[in-house]
């Protein structure tokens, strides 16, 4: 009985304890403090690597290493660590190019005005004194309007974003920089409806595009003046083409009369070809005896028509964007997406700053027609 009990007890003996860890070769102190110090150093290194300071309010945020773009939960500022300041070494070259375009365009306008007065109005005054006074009055009004709107759109500031406090937590309130990003060129906040123009060297509010012919950006402060310049320039070039052709009609040398027998025969291909050939030879023969005033009138007509076509295309494009409630840059950014603005004539009314009462009768009928067609 005793031998069986002793055999049972010997079968249930506990295993030996595990061997102790090897002693550290770098310290003779106990292992527990050393392990805790290594853990503290490891956590501290991770926290230091992913601490990011918000540029808007200055708060320190702890982020994941895979978040190059983040939005501050307090001020709403957006930070992009991947944004790199581009090369701005050609800034003065672009400014010089724009100023050269402005000087050339001003000389062209002064040449059109001076050449029109020298070549057109002696002929118009010789036909009728009343017509001469009427045409000179229209020309002076169109010239002043075109030059003033051009100078305002070229030398007026396109509109800078508003200056708001940033960089300090006490100065920036909750959501005070919502949607703002940081401009690396200007070193200041940039709103979502602003764009930095490297040709002008500034951020432009509601930027439409940079026009080299005015040497300036088209933005919130000069967009309306730019549209008025396009309208005035289109009307002026149309008037120049009409009045120059009217004056050239009276001073053009007489074209050699064609024989009537050419038109009395049967209308075949060779007859039409010969008739057109005679007209072309007669026209070029009359050009040889054309005076200097006549050549200036021909140039004014060709220049007026060509410039008018280009300005009409640009004006139509601008008015279509205004009708959609967009700018050119917004149109480019929304291309290929489903972001469609509300198309309405009220966008044009609000753009030009007209009161609603002045356009109630006109736009009410137009909007009613659009509703019925839908």
285-to-247, 256, 263, 337 alpha-carbon distances in Å = 20, 8, 21, 59
Whether 333 is covered by a domain: the verdict is yes
Active-site residues, by number, are: 211
Q: Does the pLDDT at position 275 exceed 80?
A: no
Q: According to the model, what pLDDT value does residue 358 have?
A: 46
Amino acid 371: pLDDT:
52
Task: Mark whether 245 and 343 lie in a shared domain.
Answer: yes
Same-domain pairing of 152 and 226: yes
Return the percentage of the chain with pLDDT > 90, whole number.
Answer: 25
CA distance 37 to 39: 5
Q: For the whole model, what pTM was predicted?
A: 0.74
DSSP reduced 3-state for 22: coil
Distance in Å from the first CA to the final CA of the chain? 107
Q: Is residue 268 part of a domain?
A: no
pLDDT higher than 50, residue 66: yes
- Is 247 found in the same domain as 145? yes
| Residues present in the chain in total | 374
Least confident interval from 40-49, 224-233, 239-248 = 40-49
Same structural domain, 234 and 315? yes
Q: Is 275 exposed, middle or buried (0-12, 13-18, 19+ CB in 10 A)?
A: middle
Q: Which residue has the tokens 């007890």?
A: 9
* DSSP states of 46-110: HHHHTEEE-TTT--EEE--TT-SEEE-TTT--EEETT------TTHHHHHHHHHHHHHHHHHHHH
Residue 315 has pLDDT above 60, yes or no: yes
Instruction: Yes or no: say if 113 and 139 are a contact pair by the CB < 8 Å rule.
Output: yes
Per-residue pLDDT tens digits for 15-38: 455 555 554 443 444 444 444 444
What does the pLDDT average to over 309-324? 93
Q: For residue 195, what are the domain limits? A: 51-82+161-206
Is the confidence at residue 39, as pLDDT, over 50? no
Averaged pLDDT for residues 353-369 = 53
pLDDT above 70 covers a percentage of the chain that reads 69
**Lowest mean per-residue pLDDT among 37-51, 120-134, 173-187, 205-219:** 37-51
The answer to whether residues 98 and 167 belong to one domain is: no
- Does 368 or 78 have the greater pLDDT score? 78
Q: Do 57 and 173 fall within a single domain?
A: yes
Structural domains of the chain, count? 2
Can you tell me the mean pLDDT for 78-102? Answer: 79
Position 269 scores a pLDDT of 67
DSSP 276-321: HHHHHHHHHHHHHT--HHHHHHHHHHHHHHHHHHHHHHHHHHHHHH
Q: Which of 175, 206, 237 is the last residue of a domain?
A: 206
Pairing type for strands 181-183 and 188-190 reads antiparallel
Q: Tell me, yes or no, whether 318 and 359 share the same domain.
A: yes
Same domain, 167 and 232: no
Element containing residue 182 per DSSP (H, E): strand 181-183
Judge whether 78 lies within some domain: yes
Q: State how far the Cα of 10 lies from the Cα of 7, in Å rounded to an integer.
A: 5
Predicted local distance difference test score (pLDDT) of residue 327: 87
Task: Report if residue 37 sits inside a domain.
Answer: no
Q: How confident is the model at residue 258 (pLDDT cuts 50, 70, 90)?
A: low
pLDDT value of residue 7: 36
Are residues 314 and 198 part of one domain?
no
DSSP per position, 210-273: EETTTTEEE-TTTHHHHHHHHHHHHHHHHHHHHHHHHHHHHHSPPPPPPPTHHHHS---HHHHH
Same domain assignment for residues 193 and 317? no
**Does residue 119 sit within a domain?**
yes
The predicted structure's pLDDT at residue 3: 41
The rounded distance, in Å, linking the Cα atoms of 341 and 348 is: 13
Q: Mean of the per-residue pLDDT values for the chain? A: 76
Q: Mean of the pLDDT values across residues 195-218?
A: 90
More confident residue, 153 or 290: 153
307 and 197 inside one domain: no
State residue 127's pLDDT score: 82
| 272 in a structural domain | no
Same-domain check for residues 239 and 171 = no
- pLDDT confidence of residue 259: 52
Taking only Cα atoms into account, the Rg of the chain, rounded to an integer number of angstroms, comes to 39
Residue 348 has pLDDT above 70, yes or no: yes
User: Looking at 40-54, 188-202, 250-264, 317-331, which range is the least confident one?
Assistant: 40-54
- Averaged pLDDT for residues 265-279: 65
137-184 tens-digit pLDDT: 999 999 999 999 999 999 998 988 888 888 888 888 888 888 898 888
Residue 255 in this model has a pLDDT that exceeds 70: no
Nearest to 191 by CA among 164, 211, 209: 164
Structural domain includes residue 198? yes
- What lies within 8 Å, CB to CB, of 98 at 6+ separation is 199, 212, 215, 216
Looking at residue 100, its pLDDT comes to 92
Q: How far apart are CA 117 and CA 124, in angstroms?
A: 10
In a domain, 127, yes or no: yes
């Amino acid at each position: 009985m005793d031998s069986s009990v002793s055999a049972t007890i010997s079968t249930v003996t506990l295993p030996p304890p595990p061997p102790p860890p090897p002693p550290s070769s770098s310290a003779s102190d106990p292992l527990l403090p050393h392990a805790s110090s290594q853990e503290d150093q490891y956590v501290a290194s991770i926290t230091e690597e992913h601490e990011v300071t918000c540029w808007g309010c200055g708060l320190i945020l702890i982020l994941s290493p895979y978040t190059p773009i983040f939005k501050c939960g307090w001020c709403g500022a957006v930070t992009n660590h991947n944004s790199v300041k581009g090369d701005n070494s050609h800034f003065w070259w672009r400014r010089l190019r724009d100023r050269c375009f402005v000087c050339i365009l001003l000389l062209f306008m002064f040449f059109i005005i001076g050449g029109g007065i020298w070549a057109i109005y002696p002929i118009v005054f010789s036909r009728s004194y009343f017509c001469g006074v009427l045409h000179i009055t229209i020309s002076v009004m169109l010239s002043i309007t075109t030059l003033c709107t051009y100078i305002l759109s070229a030398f007026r500031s396109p509109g800078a974003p508003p200056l708001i406090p940033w960089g300090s937590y006490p100065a920036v309130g909750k959501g005070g920089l919502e949607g703002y990003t940081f401009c690396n060129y200007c070193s200041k906040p940039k709103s979502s409806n602003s764009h930095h123009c490297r040709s002008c060297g500034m951020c432009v509010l509601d930027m439409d595009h940079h026009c080299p012919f005015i040497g300036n950006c088209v933005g919130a402060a000069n967009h309306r003046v730019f549209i008025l310049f396009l309208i005035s320039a289109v009307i002026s070039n149309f008037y120049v083409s009409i009045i120059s052709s009217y004056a050239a009609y009276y001073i053009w040398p007489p074209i050699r009369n064609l024989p009537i027998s050419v038109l009395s025969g049967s209308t075949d291909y060779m007859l039409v070809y010969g008739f057109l050939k005679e007209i072309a030879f007669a026209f070029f023969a009359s050009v040889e005896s054309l005076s200097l005033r006549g050549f200036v009138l021909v140039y004014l007509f060709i220049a007026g028509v060509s410039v008018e076509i280009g300005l009409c295309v640009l004006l139509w494009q601008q008015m279509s964007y205004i009708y959609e409630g967009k700018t050119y840059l917004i149109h480019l950014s929304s291309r290929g997406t489903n972001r469609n603005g509300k198309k309405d004539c009220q966008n044009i009314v609000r753009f030009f700053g007209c009161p609603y009462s002045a356009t109630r009768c006109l736009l009410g009928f137009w909007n009613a027609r659009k509703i019925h067609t839908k």
